[in-house]
Structure 1
């Protein structure tokens, strides 16, 4: 059916006395982007039809016709044979118009007791729930599994830990990777928590006030796998806080991926040389033949801003809307859909890349030797010898200043050199001034000692296995 023909049969146009302006028709249509929710729209319609049959509004024969027609429409869409019409505005009206073509007047009965307002709210909730379950969380978990594997592989690989991007104390690469894991684990928890509120059924709210038909909202919620039914029909059709909450969780996730990206870019540079990124995740230069550019982490770092923008867009969209539904809400889908796609694609890239990263043990070790990274260990040693911490801090500061003047790390100074600052220093000091001794001394829950890193990786794997959507 052509758009012209479809316009004459527009399902919602009887009240209007003149045809919609051609530009306005195009301007107000959402079919170009909301058609991705066809599966959820059909799912919701099937549940609604079964409920109408249960309460006696549809006969068994009419229900069978609707089920048959919707199944054919889904096949047509998935085969690329469905003719979407801008004149029918959105996915809901396109499907309903085609259903009426296929099964006749019964197709017009499907909309009994509902509105496009509760229909679209239902579709978006189903869509977001499916995206979390089928795309976002699986890829996030795959990335976290890769981090655990790498943490175990490099549980004893020493590198400098940083504060202010200055060498602070030695840590292990495995310990650093597990810090990334913890950030992402909280992101997964936030997504699951948001999913709990997403999984509320607005179906049956109708336009805003409910319906006069004897509907059974709990039955449709059960059919659609919703955990609960929305308490208020006005709220059910008008708020999009669940979509904003998802986008907020996505923005936090992208922020963490961006921080990881920044470190990967630094570590892969000639100035650090801590890691080697696989060639397949990098590109060359059009003019400089020696270049190996870390494009994937750079691009993910940039895409974080895209998701931040979508969050602000959705917040701004909702901030001054009166109850209940307003056409403004058509603008919720494109930022939401793009957020989902951006997050999923970023996770796929990282989940593929992280397990293939190789850490340069020698470069990490040598970098940790520079910058007096065991200075705190010397202070702790002196405290254990009876010196107050503030005095120990002063002694170590003097030793570091001496090392800077003479180009020596603390571990490279002789016992006599160290004792000129504090006579309580004995030969056993070199047990704590080595990098190995320093990391091994942090042998407690959450510490960077290699055996603690292995234990933490084991706990992380157990926690990941219990991370489930329902």
Structure 2
């Protein structure tokens, strides 16, 4: 069949141009949305008198047959058709004849692709939200079991203060809560219907865009035709949201790599999600977290690639925007798989409370508590208390001990201003639970954080 747009052309396209110009090798993924949009568009054409009821029925039946052929892998995606829109329209004309040629009345491929791609982006947004909810639920289940599991809290990757493992897991969870909020906001901002604006200036057919918006589940039609066909902010919003998720996953993956090493041994990744070395038989490599960490660069690159495509385009449609889909498809698939496998790794890993506690017993994690005791109980200014505590840390270092292991009599002998009772504040559990302010690591505060997040998830799921 000749090109559906080829009436004014004298020569056929070269094979090289067909290969360079075609998007069907990747935009075939939009077929469900293209058929849905065509059904709603034809329904609208019937309402405004362009199609009869009989013609509408023929078109819908033809589109249903095409959908079944695609689902059954019987449809021929021919590169000569250029894109999914032309592929389906050409197949429809072959199937039902002249009536099929009426379908494209009052629309352009420009608003057609804007609709299909936006529907894909919005659906992907919701699917990833559900994956994030599942992952957050897994994290909260882990956190619930470890509100009393003491581990070293770190700054600069150096031992800082004692925290509980549940508290650390809640910190991870907060990142994904923000990711969900970003996705939700992006969804609401972009839930407007592009179909019916034509090539770039509207149509003379009095398209009922309100009807189509309602039938397709959008809030309302888009406002300006020129903006509509050139807008890819909805895709960039998703790419940014996915980049943030990738960054958060990468940070968690980094900690999983560290924690699974012999130097930490806080966790053990299930053999089902680890690999070995081709030369060193003793090795068990945390390949899943490493790949999760590495995939962030790929997702960031997709965001920057589309920003680069869009930055110099004049308004209305430009063929450059054909470069949008592969970036979004890749990021959606990468993040979806990453969230799924991270959830499984977390669900199957083993956690060593003993190793966490042992590591918390080095590095003088309760030093801040000693300084606070000197301020609160001994009336010493904080800067002086800081200095005294530093001297006691140096003394403990000289004995190859942690300050929590020093006897009270030893500390009383190091400075006459130190009062009895100092030993009690150096206990790691007491130190952890002393941080009882809102947002703190005390077990009771961690439990409240878990409950608050669980309530938030429950409310989110009810929306």
Matched, 1:182 2:174: yes
Aligned equivalents of 1:145 and 1:268: distance in 2?
Answer: 22
Q: Does 1:173 align with 2:173?
A: no
| Residue of 94, 98, 102 corresponding to 2:95 | 102
Asked if structure 2 preserves the Cα contact closer than 8 Å seen for 1:128 and 1:198, the reply is no
Matched, 1:259 2:251: yes
1:69 maps to which of 58, 62, 80: 62
Query: Given the alignment of the two structures, is residue 81 of structure 1 paired with residue 79 of structure 2, yes or no?
Result: no
1:299-333, Cα deviation, whole Å (9 max, x unpaired): 01000000000010010000000011111010001
The alpha-carbon deviation at position 197 of structure 1 amounts to 2.1
Q: Do structure 1's residue 306 and structure 2's residue 290 form an aligned pair?
A: no
Contact preservation (8 Å) 2:66, 2:88: yes
Q: Distance in 2 between matches of 1:100 and 1:211?
A: 23
Residue-by-residue CA offset, 1:264-292 (whole Å, 9 max, x unaligned): 00000001111111111100111111111
- 2:14 maps to 21
Q: Secondary structure at the match of 2:34?
A: helix
Q: SS in structure 2 opposite 1:290? A: coil
Aligned to 1:169, what secondary structure does the other structure show? strand
Of 347, 351, 354 in structure 2, the residue corresponding to residue 355 of structure 1 is 347
- Post-superposition offset of 1:49: 0.9
Q: Which residue does the alignment assign to 2:30?
A: 37
Task: Output one character per residue of 1:397-440: Cα deviation in whole Å (capped at 9) or x when no partner.
Answer: 11111111121211111223212343343342222201111111
**Secondary structure of residue in 2 paired with 1:206:** coil
CA deviation vs aligned residue, 1:360-410 (integer Å, no higher than 9, x gap): 111111111111111111111111122111111111111111111121211
Asked whether 1:195 is paired with 2:187, we answer: yes
Which segment is superposed worse, 247-256 or 416-425?
416-425
* Residue aligned with 2:8, SS: coil
Cα displacement (A) at 1:296: 0.6
Structure 2 residue aligned with 1:278: 270
Cα root mean square deviation, aligned: 1.2
Query: What is the distance in 1 between the residues matched to 2:278 and 2:420?
Result: 56
From 244, 247, 251, the equivalent of 2:236 is 244
Asked if the contact 2:160–2:365 (Cα under 8 Å) also holds between the matched residues in 1, the reply is yes
* Greater shift in the superposed pair: 333-342 or 416-425: 416-425
For structure 1, which segment, 403-412 or 145-154, has the greater mean C-alpha deviation from structure 2 after superposition?
A: 403-412
| One of 90, 96, 107 as aligned partner of 1:114 | 107
User: Which residue does 1:3 correspond to in 2?
Assistant: none
User: SS of the counterpart of 2:334?
Assistant: helix
Deviation larger for 178-187 or 399-408 = 399-408
The structure-2 alpha-carbon separation of the partners of 1:438 and 1:402, relative to structure 1 and needing over 3 Å to count, comes to same
Normalised to the residue count of structure 1, the TM-score between the two structures is: 0.96
Listed as ranges, the gaps of 5+ residues in structure 2 are: none
Distance 2:414 2:34 in 1: 76
Q: Does 1:150 align with 2:142?
A: yes
- Structure 1 distance, partners of 2:245, 2:381, is 43
CA positional deviation for 1:468: 4.6
Aligned position for 1:440: 433
One of 372, 375, 379 as aligned partner of 1:383: 375
1:384-399 to 2 correspondence within 5 Å? 384-385=376-377, 386-399=379-392
Aligned counterparts of 2:425 and 2:27: Cα–Cα separation in 1:
62
From 381, 401, 413, the equivalent of 1:408 is: 401
Report the CA distance shift for 1:65/1:220 in structure 2 as closer, same or farther (over 3 A).
same
Is the 2:371–2:382 contact (alpha carbons within 8 Å) kept by the matching residues of 1?
yes
> Contact between 1:192 and 1:469, CA under 8 Å: does it hold in 2?
no
SS at 1:171's partner residue?
strand
1:341 aligns with 2:336: no
Structure 1 unmatched runs, 5+? 1-5
Within 2, Cα distance between the matches of 1:382 and 1:171? 22
- What displacement does 1:249 show? 0.7
Change (3 A) 1:468 1:242: farther
Asked whether the equivalents of residues 125 and 238 of structure 2 are also in contact (C-alpha less than 8 Å), the reply is no
SS of the residue aligned with 1:467?
helix
Tell which deviates more after alignment, 123-132 or 248-257: 123-132
Distance in 2, matches of 1:279 and 1:454, equals 31
- 8 Å CA contact retained: 1:399, 1:421: yes
Assess if the C-alpha contact under 8 Å between 2:407 and 2:423 holds in 1: no
SS of 2:134 mapped into structure 1: helix
Larger mean CA deviation between 382-391 and 208-217 belongs to 382-391
The answer to whether the 8 Å contact 1:100/1:106 transfers is yes
**Contact 2:121–2:234 (CA under 8 A) maintained in structure 1:** no
Matched with 1:126 is 119
Q: Which moves more between the two structures, 161-170 or 355-364?
A: 355-364
Within the candidate set 408, 416, 435, 1:423 is matched to 416
Aligned residue in 2 for 1:366: 358
